[in-house]
């Protein structure tokens, strides 16, 4: 039976590779003919208009296919699943969303119909501030981490855990998810409040080109009344087929509700950002680094900015990207006047960050950052308000973050928009996804040439 299964798997892989090759050839032909990539330059919907979609994340495979994921909260007009699930047990921290996936191929006008990734309906702990993450590698494997609901085998109570799944056939099938964190014994229900006995979520993901998969999450193990989380890590060296044991990277000094982010550079360098809580409840974004593929990590280094004192839920992720020689960060700071996104960079081989600068000085408020890079071209994208409703804005840097071109507003129509994500394509374009009302939209952007930028 296993031989049959293996044969079928290989068949599916061959078909997948063949399809990808055809798609890549079609894309090349379109580009050779000078034709615009259909539809995506204008923007297309990835999710259905009659569904409630939140928190997009995107990645691109070598054939130029765009893979989008998001939380699905149900049909428009449908009551939230929470009441049905908890049956009066009052688990306030729980959520019962689904993780949806859709793919856009370069010669298609639309995304494929979306499919649910999590096997059991309603098993995703989905909020727009604890996104699922997606990444691809050079073998076109698609890697996903997401927060999910589980039951502690020790306490029998509800917990939130980090899950990993992957597709090795271009998104046609996703493997049965594996839980990344071990099951803690301690029952922290009275501390966390709201019914979760433990939480191992707000997961970050970095994948190297060869397919080393690095997953990081915030963990309530060891949490006391000061409500600080630890940072945990698990690594796969074989493309996500199997993971090593979990490791505790940072003790309980982390803000428990600011999502971890991570980025890989080459096969050996890794950068991980979390928000550290220091004396006086100051919540400071920090970066830890590894230059040996995740075997060892440095001490946290602050990215800079005014000290943000808050006993509350900032819910702010640090976006990161690397260029030839630098690591770039973009993160919201509530202590700035007005509060907004600060951009900072550091040499990938060094430690200290340069003094941070506001990415959008004219904005009354800016938040929800994303970064992506191709060579020394860097794209920063975020949502902000200038003198009206919230809009999506972006800036390019053509020199590795030394300077940025002027702020531009993305044309998104009249919808209520926000929460952008960014990725890059093999042919040198950028892709942005965002939430418009409750529909996920995707659009391609091209960086201007140096000549155009100079004008």
Partner 1 sequence: MTKRLPVLLLASVLTHWALAGEGHDPAVLLPMDRGILKDELSASEGQVVLVNLWATWCTPCLREIPDLLTLEREFPDHEFRLLAISMDDSYSKDWVSEFKAQHFPALRSFINAELDMDTLVSAIDPVWNETLPTSYIINRNGAVIQKIQGKKPVTFFREQLVAAGL
Does 265 participate in binding partner 1 (rule CB under 8 A)? no
Q: Which of 365, 374, 405, 453 binds partner 1 (CB under 8 A)?
A: 365
Minimum Å gap between C-beta 128 and partner 1 is: 8
Nearer to partner 1 (CB atom), residue 339 or residue 426: 339
Map residues 419-438 to x or -, x wherever contact with partner 1 holds by CB under 8 A. Answer: ------------------xx
| Chain mean position to CA 306 | 25
Does 314 interact with partner 1 (rule: CB under 8 A)? yes
- The reply to whether 153 sits near partner 1 by the rule CB under 8 A is no
What is the rounded distance in angstroms from the CA atom of residue 89 to the CA atom of residue 76? 25
CB count in 10 Å sphere of residue 226: 10
Which span (5-13, 69-77, 114-122, 425-433) binds partner 1, by CB under 8 A?
A: 69-77
What's the DSSP call for residue 141? Answer: -
Buried/exposed 125-162: b ≥16 CB within 10 Å, e otherwise = bbbbbbbbbbbbbeebbbbbbbbbbbebeebebbbbbb
Minimum distance between the CB of residue 44 and partner 1, rounded to whole angstroms? 20
Burial of 357 (0-12, 13-18, 19+ CB in 10 A): middle
Q: Does 116 bind partner 1 (CB under 8 A)?
A: no
**Alpha carbon distances (Å) from 205 to 33, 105, 142, 395, 423:** 37, 24, 12, 24, 14
Residue in 121, 278, 309, 409 binding partner 1, rule: CB under 8 A: 309
Q: Which residue has the tokens 């990161």?
A: 320
- Show Cβ contacts of residue 376 under 8 Å, excluding neighbours closer than 6 positions: 323, 324, 397, 398, 399, 400
411 binds partner 1 (CB under 8 A): no
Say how far apart CA 12 and CA 173 lie, in whole Å.
10
418 touches partner 1 by CB under 8 A = yes
Strands 51-60 and 430-436: unpaired
Nearer Cβ to partner 1 (103/383): 383
Note whether 154 binds partner 1 by CB under 8 A.
Answer: no
Could you say whether residue 281 binds partner 1 (CB under 8 A)? yes
Which residue ranges make up the site for partner 1 (CB under 8 A)?
A: 52, 73-74, 76-80, 82-83, 86, 88, 90, 92-93, 95, 127, 192-194, 227, 281, 309-316, 332, 334, 338-339, 364-365, 367, 385, 389-390, 416, 418, 437-438
């Amino acid at each position: 039976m296993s031989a049959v299964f293996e044969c079928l798997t290989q068949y599916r892989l061959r078909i997948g590779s063949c399809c990808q090759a055809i798609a890549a050839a079609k894309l090349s032909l379109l580009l050779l003919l000078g034709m615009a990539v259909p539809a995506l330059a204008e923007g297309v919907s990835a999710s259905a208009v009659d569904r409630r979609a939140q928190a997009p994340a995107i990645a691109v495979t070598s054939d130029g296919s765009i893979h989008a994921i998001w939380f699905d909260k149900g049909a428009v007009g449908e009551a939230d699943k929470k009441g049905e699930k908890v049956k009066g047990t009052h688990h306030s921290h729980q959520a019962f969303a689904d993780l949806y996936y859709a793919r856009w191929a370069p010669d298609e006008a639309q995304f494929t119909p979306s499919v649910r990734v999590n096997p059991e309906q309603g098993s995703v702990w989905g909020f727009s501030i604890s996104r699922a993450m997606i990444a691809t590698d050079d073998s076109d494997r698609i890697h996903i981490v997401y927060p999910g609901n589980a039951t502690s085998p020790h306490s029998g109570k509800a917990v939130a855990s980090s899950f990993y799944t992957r597709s090795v056939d271009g998104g046609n099938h996703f493997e049965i998810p594996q839980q990344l964190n071990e099951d803690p014994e301690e029952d922290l229900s009275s501390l966390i409040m709201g019914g979760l006995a433990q939480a191992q979520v707000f997961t970050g993901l970095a994948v190297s080109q060869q397919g080393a998969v690095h997953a990081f999450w915030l963990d309530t193990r060891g949490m006391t009344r000061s409500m600080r989380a630890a940072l945990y890590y698990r690594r796969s060296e074989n493309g996500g087929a199997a993971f090593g044991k979990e490791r505790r990277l940072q003790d309980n000094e982390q803000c428990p509700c600011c999502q971890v982010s991570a980025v890989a550079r080459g096969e050996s360098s890794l950068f991980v950002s979390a928000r550290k809580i220091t004396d006086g409840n100051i919540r400071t974004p920090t970066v830890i680094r590894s230059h040996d593929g995740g075997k060892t990590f440095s001490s946290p280094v602050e990215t800079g900015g005014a000290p943000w004192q808050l006993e509350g839920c900032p819910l702010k992720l640090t976006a990161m990207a690397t260029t030839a020689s630098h690591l770039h960060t973009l993160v919201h700071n509530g202590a700035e006047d007005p509060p907004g996104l600060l951009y900072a960079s550091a040499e990938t081989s060094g430690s200290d960050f340069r003094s941070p600068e506001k990415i959008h000085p004219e904005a009354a408020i800016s938040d929800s950052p994303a970064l992506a890079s191709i060579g020394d071209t860097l794209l920063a994208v975020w949502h902000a308000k200038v003198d009206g409703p919230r809009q999506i804005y972006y800036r390019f840097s053509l020199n590795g973050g030394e300077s940025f071109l002027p702020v531009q507003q993305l044309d998104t129509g009249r919808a209520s928009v926000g929460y952008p994500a960014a990725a890059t394509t093999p042919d040198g374009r950028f892709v942005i996804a965002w939430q418009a009302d409750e529909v996920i939209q995707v659009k391609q952007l091209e960086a201007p040439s140096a000549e155009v930028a100079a004008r």
